[in-house]
Structures are given as structure tokens and as C-alpha cells.
């Protein structure tokens, strides 16, 4: 398997800091990060909790951030590669993580890795998702200033679901020409998606 981690200066420093952590405190830290990994914008710890962690772990603010970010990165890479616990163990040895910390990572990943991967797969790149499309056609035959006219238009109602599971209805109206232009743009997008897939 290809390397999941490259021993950059930041990773080396983070590994050194993680190796110095109390092995009794590390599993709870790791478990919390693992639980929140699938949440896009949520931090694993609040600011108050981070202050308490600094004191409990004996780390400065920047060092704690590096430990938290690197731990999350390790877990994200394990999820991205759908790494088996034995593969994760081997990869962590390659970056000089100590055996007791490797054991904590591997146990946590073996217990919660599958669930994290499933949650990450459900997470989308875009914060909004299209759930439904309703439409109707209208034909305007006259208006106050004009008696004989035919003005067709299409009305669309798009059901959109946001990341926080709230729903919204977006309404749009197109004339024939506007709808044709929109359709042409969708065709272009579809062609580009098809070319990426092949």
C-alpha cells in the first residue's frame, strides 16, 4: 500500500508531541476526535475544553492544535484509504509513533473505523442537496395592454435540503428561451461529468 503519511516537519513535530502524551489520557482524546470526524465544520473540542486539555496534557495552544489536527489527519487518511487496522499500524510505525500510541490508534480504528467511513461517505461536498423537483407549464394569453398573445413559461420548485437537515423550496420561472439556455448548460455539464467518468 502507498504511504498514507509523509513525514513532513509538522508531522514529525506532532508525532514527537503525541509520543510524550500520557497514554492513559490519549484514548479519550482520540475517541472524541473520531466521533466528530465526519462533521464538516464542527470542532472536536470547544475553546474551553481546549484550554482544559492544554493544562491536562501540558501542551501550549499551538502544540495542542498541531496534535489535534494531526490526529484528525491520521484518522481521515485511514478513512480515505479504508485502511485495515494492521495497515494503519504499519503506517504509524513508519512515522515513528511509539508502540503504546499506535496501539491506541489501532484499537480505536478497529472499534469505530467502519462507522466513520460510512458517515464520511454520506457527507457531501456541497452543503445543499437537491431533494425534489416539481414543475408546471403556464401559458399567458393576454394582459391589460395586449389581448392576443401567447407567452409560455415554465415554473420550477426545487426542494433543497441543507447540511443541518432544514429544507427549503426554491422557485424559478423560465421563458422558453431561458429554459432552452438552461437546458443547454445542463447538457454541457452532463457531457463534462461523463468525460470525467470514462
Q: pLDDT tens for residues 70-98?
A: 999 999 889 888 889 999 999 999 899 99
Task: Identify the weakest region by mean pLDDT among 17-26, 96-105, 146-155, 164-173.
Answer: 146-155
CB 161 within 8 A of CB 131: yes
pLDDT of residue 125: 61
pLDDT of residue 41: 63
Q: Which residue has the higher pLDDT, 155 or 128?
A: 155
Check residue 39 and report its DSSP letter.
-
The alpha carbon of 121 is separated from its chain's Cα centroid by a whole number of angstroms, namely: 8
CA 96 from centroid of its chain's CA atoms: 28
Mean pLDDT taken over the chain: 86
Half-sphere exposure (CA, 13 Å, Cβ side) for 64? 18
Report the alpha-carbon distance of residue 105 to residue 149 in Å, rounded: 72
Q: Residue 170: pLDDT band by 50, 70, 90 thresholds? A: very high
Q: Is the pLDDT of residue 150 over 70?
A: yes
Does 133 or 122 have the greater pLDDT score? 133
Q: To the nearest whole percent, how much of the chain has pLDDT over 90?
A: 37
The answer to whether residue 198 scores a pLDDT higher than 60 is no
Of the pLDDT bands very low, low, confident and very high (cuts 50, 70, 90), residue 40 is low
Amino acid at each position: 500500500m502507498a504511504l498514507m503519511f509523509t513525514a513532513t516537519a509538522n508531522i514529525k513535530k506532532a508525532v514527537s508531541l503525541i509520543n510524550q502524551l500520557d497514554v492513559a489520557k490519549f484514548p479519550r482524546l482520540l475517541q472524541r476526535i473520531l466521533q466528530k470526524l465526519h462533521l464538516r465544520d464542527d470542532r472536536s473540542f470547544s475553546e474551553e475544553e481546549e484550554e482544559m486539555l492544554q493544562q491536562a496534557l501540558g501542551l501550549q495552544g499551538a502544540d495542542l492544535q498541531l496534535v489535534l489536527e494531526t490526529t484528525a489527519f491520521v484518522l481521515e487518511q485511514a478513512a480515505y484509504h479504508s485502511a485495515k487496522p494492521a495497515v494503519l499500524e504499519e503506517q504509524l510505525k513508519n512515522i515513528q509513533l511509539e508502540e503504546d500510541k499506535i496501539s491506541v490508534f489501532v484499537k480505536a480504528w478497529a472499534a469505530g473505523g467502519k462507522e466513520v467511513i460510512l458517515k464520511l461517505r454520506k457527507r457531501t461536498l456541497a452543503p445543499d442537496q437537491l431533494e425534489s423537483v416539481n414543475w408546471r407549464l403556464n401559458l399567458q394569453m393576454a394582459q391589460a395592454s395586449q389581448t392576443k398573445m401567447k407567452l409560455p413559461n415554465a415554473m420550477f420548485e426545487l426542494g433543497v435540503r441543507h447540511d443541518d437537515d432544514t429544507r427549503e423550496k426554491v422557485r424559478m420561472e423560465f421563458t422558453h428561451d431561458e429554459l432552452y439556455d438552461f437546458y443547454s448548460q445542463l447538457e454541457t455539464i452532463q457531457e463534462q461529468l461523463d468525460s470525467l467518468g470514462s
